[in-house]
Amino acid sequence: MCLAIPAKVIRVDGASALVMIEDTEYNASLLLLDDIKAGDYVMLHAGFAIQKVDEEEAIETMRLLIEVEKHNPE
């Protein structure tokens, strides 16, 4: 139910956006999110964009994980 999937914004049309997950296009309502532009990634939940994915935070999380992996070689 609380499933949300990262989707790439292709185009913004007023209060909705065309987004893409893999090769499939979807419509995402932007009624719950301001300041979205083409190229952003948003979390899509039951037809609504509920939050923007923060690229910098994603990179930071990955950096931490790779540190952990390096300390624990197989």
Partner 1 sequence: MKYIDEYRKKDLILGVSEEIKKISKKEISLMEVCGGHTMAIHRFGLHFLLPPNIHLLSGPGCPVCVSGQHFIDTAIAYSRLPGSIITTYGDLIRVPGSASSLEKEKAGGQDIRIVYSVLESLEIAVKNPGKNVIFLGIGFETTAPLTAAAIEEALKRNIRNFSVLSSHKVMPPVMKALVRDGVKINGFIAPGHVTAITGTGIYKDLTESFGLGVVVSGFEPVDMMQSILMLVAQFEAGKPRVEVQYQRVVREEGNPVAQKLLNKVFELKDDRWRGLGLIPLSGLKIRPGLSSFDAEKMFPLEVPVASEPKGCICGLILRGLKTPLECRLFQKKCTPSDPVGACMVSAEGTCATYYKYRS
Report d(CA 17, CA 34) in Å as an integer: 12
38 is a site residue for partner 1 (CB under 8 A): no
13 is a site residue for partner 1 (CB under 8 A): no
Q: Residue 11 or residue 47: which is nearer to partner 1 going by CB? A: 47
Binding residues with partner 1: total (CB under 8 A): 39
Distance of CA 3 to the CA centre of its chain: 13
Structure tokens at 41: 């990634």
Structure tokens at 37: 């532009």
Q: How far is the CB of 56 from partner 1 (least distance, A)?
A: 9
Structure tokens at 40: 């952003």
Residue type, 63: R
Which of 21, 25, 37, 63 is the binder for partner 1 (CB under 8 A)? 21
What residue has token string 């185009």?
11
- Site of interaction with partner 1 (CB under 8 A): 1-6, 8, 21-22, 29, 31-34, 41, 43, 45-48, 50-51, 53-55, 57-58, 60-62, 64-66, 68-72, 74
